[in-house]
Amino acid sequence: MKCSVCGAPAQVEVRRRNRAFCVEHYREWFVRETRRNVKRHRMIRPQDRLLAAVSGGKDSLVLWSVLSQLGYEAVGLHIQLGIGDYSRRALETTRAFAAAHGLDLIVVDVRESFGLTIPELARATGRAACSGCGLSKRYLMNRVAEDEGFNVVATGHNLDDEAATLLGNVSHWQLDALMRQGPMLAERPGLARRIKPLYTFTEREVAAYAFLAGISYQHEECPHAEGAKSLLYKELLNRLETRMPGTKQVFLEQYLKKVQPALRDHSVEAEVELRRCERCGSVTTGAVCAHCKLWDRAYARAKKRHLLPPDAGFDPRPKLHFLTRSEP
Ligand code: Q46
Ligand code: ZN
Ligand code: ZN
């Protein structure tokens, strides 16, 4: 197999595109495609201030690296979830990456900010770790963005993530989620624009880029990911992809192009009015936001079970640590 650009021996094959590349041209192709995604959806405008959510995994570190190669200055946001060694190693990897590339990083520790780690929150609420974790991460991304003056939050979601989410939403006909799904969620007052510049690359392609660009990332998965429905959807899509290369891409892209606009045209739902949460001041639809409700409930139950002192009260203000490029 030869590189489609220069004819040298190819190192990576992108079967769904019928192309193969040497190391240099794969990296070039990857960066160019990311730029194309950003431009096509007008994800980033010149005056924007960018926050990149960085977990320490391949997707987020590749995203952060490619954004800076494209000339976008993105500050990283790492959320410490308190999931044992997995979280400790995630922070180490992220800090090392930021220091090596001279990038600014903000770290928020969930336990330091809100009083419980994600596993403790799950025990207190009796809900799966991922449900509280997902909610707290979304909350913190937006909250930190608003408090610190960022209007765009970039995440490293790839094609596998997006196709799996689509399959999950279609399987259950989650119309609200289907209408919102996409590479960009528009900015609204108090809500940062959410962008996913890597949404057209498969997980394998992102991993190949990380490897060829020498990015060291955390390989280990969160222990709570095991058994997650998203993994089952990914597995099913991978089986289809092996038999029919390009399936994931067609499934997602054609949905976004043909089905979503029709869904939106026929939607009778008026855009929900947004207001400020009485507890934390963040934008929400009800009187108190879902994040404050979840943590208030967790505190009440944790106090009953003596996991927290009786006078403990939930304070929704996150505590930020700024690791600037000059002091890693
Ligand atoms: S980090 Fe959090 Fe994920 Fe771990 S607890 Fe679940 S949601 S699996 S991306
Ligand atoms: Zn080449
Ligand atoms: Zn709130």
Distance CA 276, CA 285 (A): 8
> Which has the minimum average pLDDT: 62-71, 135-144, 163-172, 267-276?
267-276
**Region 266-286: what's the mean pLDDT?**
87
> Would you say residue 72 has pLDDT above 50?
yes
> Would you say residue 267 has pLDDT above 90?
no
> Would you say residue 316 has pLDDT above 70?
yes
Distance CA 181, CA 321 (A): 31
pLDDT score at 326 = 65
pLDDT score at 268 = 67
Higher pLDDT, 212 or 308: 212
**Region 162-177: what's the mean pLDDT?**
96
Structure tokens at 186: 């528009």
**Region 127-144: what's the mean pLDDT?**
96
Residues, CB within 5 angstroms of ligand 2 (ion): 3, 5-6, 8, 22, 25
Distance CA 307, CA 81 (A): 18
**Region 134-145: what's the mean pLDDT?**
97
| Partner residues linked to 19 by β-bridges | 14
Q: Is the dihedral of CA 170, 172, 173, 175 positive or negative?
A: negative
Best residue for ligand 1 mutational test, from 94, 116, 130, 220 (most atoms within 8 Å of Cβ): 130
Structure tokens at 164: 């799996």
Best residue for ligand 1 mutational test, from 136, 224, 226 (most atoms within 8 Å of Cβ): 224
Band of residue 226 on the pLDDT scale cut at 50, 70, 90: confident
Mean pLDDT of the chain: 95
Structure tokens at 95: 């800090």
Domains and CATH numbers, the chain: 42-267+316-323 (3.40.50.620)
> Which has the minimum average pLDDT: 249-253, 267-271, 277-281, 299-303?
267-271
**Region 248-273: what's the mean pLDDT?**
87
Confirm whether pTM is higher than 0.85.
Answer: yes
> Would you say residue 263 has pLDDT above 90?
no
Task: Give the distance (Å) from ligand 2 centre to CA of residue 8.
Answer: 6
> Which has the minimum average pLDDT: 27-31, 255-259, 270-274, 275-279?
270-274
Structure tokens at 249: 């891409």
Say if CB 107 and CB 323 are below 8 A apart: yes
Structure tokens at 199: 């949404």
pLDDT score at 328 = 47
Which own/partner pairs from 239-242 qualify as long-range (CB within 8 Å, at least 24 positions apart)? 241/16, 241/202
Band of residue 295 on the pLDDT scale cut at 50, 70, 90: very high
pLDDT score at 270 = 65
State percent of the chain over pLDDT 70.
98
For the CA of 118, the closest atom of ligand 1 is: 5
Distance CA 27, CA 213 (A): 7
Task: Compute, in degrees rounded to 10, the torsion defined by CA atoms 233, 234, 238, 239.
Answer: -30
Count of other CB atoms within 10 angstroms of residue 106: 21
Give residue-wise pLDDT tens across range 298-313.
999 999 988 889 999 9
Closest CA to 64 of 225, 222, 252, 217: 217
> Would you say residue 269 has pLDDT above 70?
no
Task: Please give the distance of CA 23 from its chain centroid, rounded to a whole number.
Answer: 27
Which own/partner pairs from 121-130 qualify as long-range (CB within 8 Å, at least 24 positions apart)? 121/294, 121/295, 121/298, 123/307, 124/298, 124/299, 124/301, 124/302, 124/305, 124/307, 125/294, 125/297, 125/298, 125/301, 126/301, 128/224, 129/83, 129/224, 130/224, 130/225, 130/228
pLDDT score at 327 = 58
Say if CB 87 and CB 99 are below 8 A apart: no
Band of residue 58 on the pLDDT scale cut at 50, 70, 90: very high
For the CA of 223, the closest atom of ligand 1 is: 4
Nearest CA residue ID for atom 1, ligand 1: 222
**Region 5-15: what's the mean pLDDT?**
95
**Region 36-45: what's the mean pLDDT?**
97
Distance CA 193, CA 8 (A): 41
Pocket of ligand 1 (CB under 6 A): 81, 118, 129-130, 133-134, 222, 224-225
